């Protein structure tokens, strides 16, 4: 039981990190950025390239090296997110929503097969592996890397929350999500705020990518696909457009999967996860914490 809760929490924090980017972008420009899962993949590959170029890293320094690589990868994936927004989404700002959605799918494929062309289609084993002590907590096996990764994830989420609640940019983000035109009239530089939103959301996904690479040890160019869909599900569960909802949704989805597989068997895991998506979309499209009525595609 405690093992279930712990596993759900761990996987859920990955979902939450990625779901945040989905939710932030949706909250501000009403775009389901289906390329977001591939930003996660991009982050994993950037981290891979950085770690490989650093050469052999002694085990004692691996955590420090990982943190540095994590930060650099976040900067780079954030920048990639900004470039994608500038090239693929901003020209379509006034276009019908469906056109932007299709563009997002196009961006997703471009990223996947672009990486496949550059880095090769074969899966790669990550150059450093987080291995560490395992201890029992109330009957659950908890490992040190898991705790470190969850602390990083929690830290990032707390920082994000503070940023949105306390800074002027955060206030601008919230006001744009309420009414973009009115915000523009109030003198907010809407484009600059959207750019920042993409930067932050993509950086978080990139962080999740590096963390997944270092923990699970394998990356490949399609790794963002399923987890992207799961993060989208998490965002919907929590209430898409709602930042705290995305964090909550990620954890809820993690629990749903952990308990669902326990009761129904491993092969039902994805059936279970996406059935929850359908149930939420039909019964409560605004999600757990959603306030506004979301328009459905």
Partner 1 sequence: MRLRTRNMILLSVASAVVFTTAGCGGGLLSSEDSGASGASGPVKLGMVVPISGSSAPTGAYMKNGAQLAVDEINKAGGVLKGRKLELIVEDEACDAQQAVASANKVVTAGVVVSVGGYCSGATLPTLPIFQKANLPMIIPAANSQELVTQGLANVFMINGTGKQQSTTALAFMKKAGYTTVALVDDNTSYSKDITTETASQIQKDGSVKVLLKTSVTPGESDYSAVVRNIMAKKPALVYWTGYYQEGGLIINQLKKAGFSGKTMVADGSVDPSLTKIAGAGAEGVFATMTQTPDTLKGAEKWIANYKAKFKADPGPFSTQSYDAVRLAAKAIEDAGTTEGGDITKALEAIDGFPMFSGPLKFTPEHTLSSGGFVILVTKHGKFTLDNTLS
Least separation in angstroms between CB 193 and partner 1: 33
Residues 98-127 touching partner 1, rule: CB under 8 A, are 116, 120-123, 125
Residues 151-210 touching partner 1, rule: CB under 8 A, are none
Contact between residue 169 and residue 189 where contact means Cβ atoms under 8 Å apart: no
Nearest to partner 1 of 64, 274 (CB atom) = 274
| Structure tokens given for 161 | 């929350």
Helix, strand, coil tally for the chain in percent (to 5): 75, 5, 20
β-pair type (218-219, 124-125): antiparallel
Nearest to partner 1 of 214, 243 (CB atom) = 214
Please tell me whether residue 218 binds partner 1 under the rule CB under 8 A. Answer: yes
Candidates 87-95, 101-109, 188-196, 261-269; binding stretch for partner 1 (CB under 8 A)? 261-269
Candidates 77-85, 233-241, 266-274, 277-285; binding stretch for partner 1 (CB under 8 A)? 266-274
Distance CA 204, CA 16 (A): 10
Nearest to partner 1 of 77, 261 (CB atom) = 261
Distance CA 103, CA 97 (A): 10
Least separation in angstroms between CB 45 and partner 1: 14
Least separation in angstroms between CB 218 and partner 1: 5
Distance CA 253, CA 234 (A): 6
Nearest to partner 1 of 99, 125 (CB atom) = 125
Q: How many CB atoms lie within 10 A of CB 127?
A: 22
Nearest to partner 1 of 99, 271 (CB atom) = 271
Query: Among 143, 161, 169, 195, which residue interacts with partner 1 (rule: CB under 8 A)?
Result: 143
Residues 12-71 touching partner 1, rule: CB under 8 A, are 14
CA dihedral 73, 156, 165, 182 (to 10 degrees): 30
Nearest to partner 1 of 25, 44 (CB atom) = 44
Least separation in angstroms between CB 190 and partner 1: 36
Q: What are phi and psi of 155, to 5 degrees?
A: -60, -45
Residue 273 CB partners (closer than 8 Å, separation 6+): 230, 233, 253, 256, 257, 260
| Structure tokens given for 236 | 């919907």
Distance CA 75, CA 114 (A): 20
255: which DSSP letter?
H
Nearest to partner 1 of 4, 281 (CB atom) = 4
Binding residues (CB under 8 A) for partner 1: these are: 3-4, 7, 10-11, 14, 116, 120-123, 125, 129, 131, 134, 141, 143, 212, 216-218, 220, 222-223, 225-227, 257-258, 261-262, 265-267, 269-270
């Amino acid at each position: 039981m405690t093992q279930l809760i712990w596993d759900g929490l761990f996987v859920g924090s990955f979902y939450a990190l990625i779901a945040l980017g989905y939710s932030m972008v949706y909250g501000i420009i009403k775009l389901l950025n289906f390329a977001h899962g591939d930003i996660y993949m991009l982050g994993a590959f950037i981290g891979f390239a950085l770690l490989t170029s650093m050469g052999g890293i002694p085990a004692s320094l691996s955590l420090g090296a990982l943190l540095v690589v994590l930060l650099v990868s976040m900067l780079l994936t954030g920048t990639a997110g900004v470039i994608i927004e500038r090239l693929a989404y901003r020209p379509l700002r006034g276009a019908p929503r469906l056109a932007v959605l299709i563009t997002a799918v196009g961006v997703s494929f471009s990223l996947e097969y672009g990486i496949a062309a550059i880095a090769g289609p074969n899966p790669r084993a990550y150059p450093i592996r987080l291995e560490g002590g395992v201890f029992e907590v109330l009957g659950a096996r908890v490992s040190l890397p898991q705790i470190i990764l969850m602390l990083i994830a929690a830290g990032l989420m707390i920082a994000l929350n503070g940023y949105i609640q306390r800074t002027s940019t955060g206030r601008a983000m919230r006001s744009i999500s309420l009414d973009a035109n009115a915000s523009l009239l109030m003198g907010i530089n809407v484009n600059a705020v959207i750019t920042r939103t993409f930067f932050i959301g993509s950086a978080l996904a990139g962080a999740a990518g590096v963390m997944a690479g270092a923990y699970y040890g394998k990356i490949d160019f399609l790794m963002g696909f399923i987890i992207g869909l799961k993060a989208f599900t998490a965002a919907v569960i929590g209430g898409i457009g709602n930042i705290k909802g995305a964090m909550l949704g990620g954890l809820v989805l993690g629990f749903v999967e952990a308990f669902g597989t326990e009761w129904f068997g491993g092969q039902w895991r994805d059936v279970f996860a996406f059935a929850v998506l359908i149930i939420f979309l039909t019964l409560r499209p605004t999600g757990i914490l959603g306030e506004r009525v979301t328009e459905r595609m």
